[in-house]
Structure 1
Amino acid sequence: MGYDPFMSSVSQGLQSSQYNPYAEEHNPLAGAGASYYGAQNTYSTPSQPLQYHLYYPLAPIRDTLQPYQRAVFDLFLPESLREDLQKKAEAARQVLASQPGVQSPSLQHYHSLVPLDIKLKNTPGIFGLPTWVWKATSRKNGNVYCLRRVEGFRLTNEDAIKAVNSWKKISHPNIVTTVEAFTTRDFNDSSLIFVHSYHPLSKTLAEHHFPVTTNRFSRPGPVPEKVLWSYLVQLSSALRVIHKAKLAARCIDISKVILTDKNRIRLSACSIFDVINFDAHRRVEELQQEDFFNLGKLVLSIGTNTSPRNMQDLRTLLEQLGRNYSEELKERVAWLLSAPQQQYMTADQLIRDLALHVDDVFVSSSNAYDEAVNHLGRELENGRLVRLLAKLGTINERPEFDGDPNWSETEHRYMLKLFRDYVFHQVDTQGNPVLDLGHIISCLNKLDAGTEEKIYLTSRDHQSTFLVTYRELKKQVQSAFGDLQKGNTKQQQQTSRGF
């Protein structure tokens, strides 16, 4: 029935419902009493199937390619990204090889400890005590965490360990999240354990910009200035959140800032100084000024390719930085290095001074986000198609039901078997198998959407033929799978909820 403007007064007395694209029956009166879909008094468009049930391009299409030239990998993640994610997943699942008579160590509810330190002998670092880094899995939630052990620390004040509680509330994309801290004697000494979030395959800025090499003639090239500005902006943003919480980072060092992705850095090892130096009773304002000084020293170290232990003459290094980079970067680093002599340097002031470069970082982050959404859109339908394939696989040709009249492959079950042949077992005129991924994906998407498109199914002996729609096949899949669920035991029903 078309839209009649003269019937508007009559339609006000009738309760109508919005078109529900998920409904099997699109009868306007069927959902009139539904309270979820509110009433509408305006003209609605004709019923259309959900577009996201089909593969819909989220990114601009390359006009130079013809439709038949579309590559298979256009439907999935890029191989470089997939390889990177698989390497990270493999690193997170890595465990030590078992040895006879050697039991894997565990700390409280953390097990499967794997050392992340590549050095055989540890020496005191910025904390003044030897530290070791491990990867471990929690028994509580199964997540993987990073455990940092401070060796030989004896806790004399119980309130010191409570300083970690303030860091648990800090959540920032450039700060490694602090989970908890506890003491242990499982290493035959008094050790302090800090638990942080784990970022697989990350490396420190020291390992990235000062790699250990055996070739004494090789010298890394200068770091691009955009990278230095990006480091400065990210760490300044982290300091702003930390200082706003009345805390101080106290660990801005190239050995404690990790690189988790391309130019994506995070400040790690937070809260450790607050515990081991709890009795020092230094003013927070003084520690915050030291954060600015250490930030300037970090940028200066990377920009001049100078190890922190060789940075005695900062004035000479500043002149060297000015010869390789812009005057603006030199002035900003010099301003940070003068933090101990200034009394009113704040993170908010630093962020305002970096406004132009904050915009550059924002644009880069937005572009990376758009690219990630584009890649995610390619994988959007995979989980749904896997569930549909699992249902079809459990329905077709079940050997335990051979000869069972209640489960004979007739009617809808037989058509589902023919549909499987139509999707996966097609052959050409020469009898060669047709391997067309586009055909498979298109058929499965139409089946899951339940479209009104009709297909012609024929048996292998060409004695039986059916002309059915995808909507009818979808109902048959649901009916057959429902029969399987009714025949399950209670325990099996619990395992089938994922469908």
Structure 2
Amino acid sequence: MQTINQAIPTTTYNPYLEENQITPNAATYFQTQAAFVGPAQPLQYHLYAPIGAHRQDLLAYQRHTHDFFMPNDLREDLQKKSEAARQVMPNSQLPAVEHYHTLVPLDTSHQKSATVFGFPSWVYKAVSSKNGLTYVLRRIEGFRLSNANAVQSAKNWKRVDNAGVVSVIDAFTTRAFGDSSLIFVYNYYPQSKTIVEAHFTNTNRYGNRIATAVVSEQILWGYVVQLANAVKSIHAANLAARCMDPSKVIVTDKNRIRLNACSIFDVIHFEADRPVAELQQEDFISFGKLILAIATNNIGLASGSTPLRGSLESLKRNYSVEFRDTVEWLLTPAQVPGTKDLNEFIRGISGQIMTSYDNSLHANDTIIGTLSQELENGRLFRLIAKLGTINERPEYEGDVKWSEVGERYILKLFRDYVFHQVNAEGKPVVDLAHVLGCMNKLDAGVGERIKLVSRDDQDCMVVSYKELKKQVDAAFGELLKPGGKRY
């Protein structure tokens, strides 16, 4: 009897808990298996109905179903960004840093790299406990701050408010990682890629690099215009970018790039105290190397490990003379004692700036049009939500038949008329056009009359959408009235 009592667990066994321990005697009845790991639950993008081919024979008043919603690729892109912004790492051992918590590594490589900054750097996504927003923390590992004013130099970057520069939020030192680390805080752009990931990481199944298609000149001109805009704003603030490495320039949307990791060199090399004018002249050369590296698909050009002259000559095969001259102007140092002026550069590419500006206006029109569609969908959802709070309500203020009498009963019949119609064979009729038409007429309160029939065919009435709208407002207003007994 004593042996039996020892075999009985002291607590109630819950099969849904991962930490349950099966007794040694009972383990022989089960197959050996690995510890259960809860699978991630990503959004089920594939469950959305695919969009078919566009028919060209539709009349002017006819519409496709997907004409009422945002484009499928835009919806999926926004959902992926939302999922990435809320992604967490279970059982994370990463510490909280100042008021930033829930750190998630964003580095795609686990190997330390000190190529760009001279110190190993790591990138994390974190949530601020002050405002609940998500930010990027860039950690410079093993950096010992010798001058307190160095961190203050990063605060100067708060003056730079430009769409082509990732905003610098804060900079501070910490020992939360067990060493002396320097932390830079930036705005977070979900699902962003670096220029390296976007243009230089095409490999085959064996890990070898494969030839990639030549980047179109239109895309490169877009990059040039965006970078020129960013550098102009930086130079106007009496600062220098100092970091245009392909691994530090990010692509946040289609052909949309931003300068990232700004202000880091200002802190790390604070003691050097180099003149800002000299650093600004170096920005032009770094600018040209970056564009040349993308155009020739040679990442070594950006770091200076590959000669530039032969690469410049190769631009003639795929790009216009104007583009080649622009890159050459950026790479050519100014004649001493003269200096290059970004305003001169902008005047030289003014034609391409107008083209890029025109493209941005078209993109803005597309976004506004898509937003207007979702505005109408939101309007109809609010109306359907009102009906949902009224129909089939179990009771209200002690009246169990509140939703089955008076004007609420008519709204119940209207709900069946809109959503529960059947054909002559008794099969459900799923017609989105019918639903949208009825809800829009109800929202507008038109005078059109419809016949509503109860499910048992005992009640039949003819009402207008105008009357139905008044009944919806009256019933919903009754639910919102103050006071009264609530259950």
Length-normalised TM-score, structure 1? 0.80
**Per-residue deviation, 1:298:** 0.9
Segment of structure 1 superposing worse, 180-189 or 469-478: 469-478
Q: Is the partner of 1:252 in helix, strand or coil?
A: coil
CA contact (8 A) 2:395 2:401 kept: no
Aligned partner of 2:343 among 344, 348, 360: 348
**Per-residue deviation, 1:336:** 0.9
Counterpart of 2:186 in structure 1 is 196
**Is residue 96 from structure 1 mapped to residue 86 from structure 2 by the alignment?**
no
Q: 1:462 to 1:258 in 2, by over 3 A?
A: same
Aligned partner of 2:77 among 80, 84, 93: 84
Amino acid in the other structure paired with 1:237: N
Distance 1:408 1:400 in 2: 7
Q: 1:312 to 1:441 in 2, by over 3 A?
A: same
Counterpart of 1:51 in structure 2 is none
Distance 2:74 2:253 in 1: 12
**Is residue 313 from structure 1 mapped to residue 303 from structure 2 by the alignment?**
no
Alignment of 1:229-244 (within 5 A): 229-244=221-236
Q: How many residues were matched structurally?
A: 429
**Per-residue deviation, 1:131:** 0.7
Distance 1:202 1:217 in 2: 22
Aligned partner of 2:148 among 143, 146, 158: 158
CA contact (8 A) 2:391 2:403 kept: no
Distance 1:152 1:405 in 2: 69
**Per-residue deviation, 1:111:** 1.6
Counterpart of 1:330 in structure 2 is 324
Q: Is the partner of 1:84 in helix, strand or coil?
A: helix
Q: Is the partner of 1:381 in helix, strand or coil?
A: helix
Q: Is the partner of 2:375 in helix, strand or coil?
A: coil
CA contact (8 A) 2:288 2:331 kept: yes
Distance 1:69 1:84 in 2: 28
Q: Is the partner of 1:377 in helix, strand or coil?
A: helix
Per-residue CA distance 1:358-412 (angstroms, 9 max, x = gap): 1221122122222222222221212222222222111111123497278352221
Amino acid in the other structure paired with 1:155: L
Distance 2:243 2:111 in 1: 22
**Is residue 371 from structure 1 mapped to residue 366 from structure 2 by the alignment?**
yes
Amino acid in the other structure paired with 1:147: L
Q: Is the partner of 1:400 in helix, strand or coil?
A: coil
Unaligned ranges ≥5, structure 1: 1-60, 493-499
Per-residue CA distance 1:277-298 (angstroms, 9 max, x = gap): 2222211111111110100111
Aligned partner of 1:72 among 65, 70, 79: 65
**Per-residue deviation, 1:341:** 4.0
Counterpart of 1:223 in structure 2 is 215
Alignment of 1:125-144 (within 5 A): 125-144=115-134
Structural RMSD (CA): 2.5
Alignment of 1:19-418 (within 5 A): 64-66=57-59, 70-98=63-91, 103-211=93-201, 213=203, 214-216=206-208, 218-308=210-300, 309=303, 311-341=305-335, 343-401=338-396, 404=399, 407=402, 409-418=404-413
**Per-residue deviation, 1:63:** 6.7
Higher relative contact order (CA 8 A, sep 6+): 1
Unaligned ranges ≥5, structure 2: 1-53
**Is residue 473 from structure 1 mapped to residue 442 from structure 2 by the alignment?**
no
**Per-residue deviation, 1:339:** 3.1
Amino acid in the other structure paired with 2:447: E
CA contact (8 A) 2:170 2:185 kept: yes
**Per-residue deviation, 1:140:** 2.1
CA contact (8 A) 2:250 2:259 kept: yes
Length-normalised TM-score, structure 2? 0.82
Per-residue CA distance 1:10-39 (angstroms, 9 max, x = gap): xxxxxxxxxxxxxxxxxxxxxxxxxxxxxx
After TM superposition, where is structure 1 displaced by more than 4 Å over at least 4 residues in a row? 487-492
Distance 1:206 1:217 in 2: 13
CA contact (8 A) 2:202 2:210 kept: no
**Per-residue deviation, 1:325:** 2.2
Amino acid in the other structure paired with 1:278: F
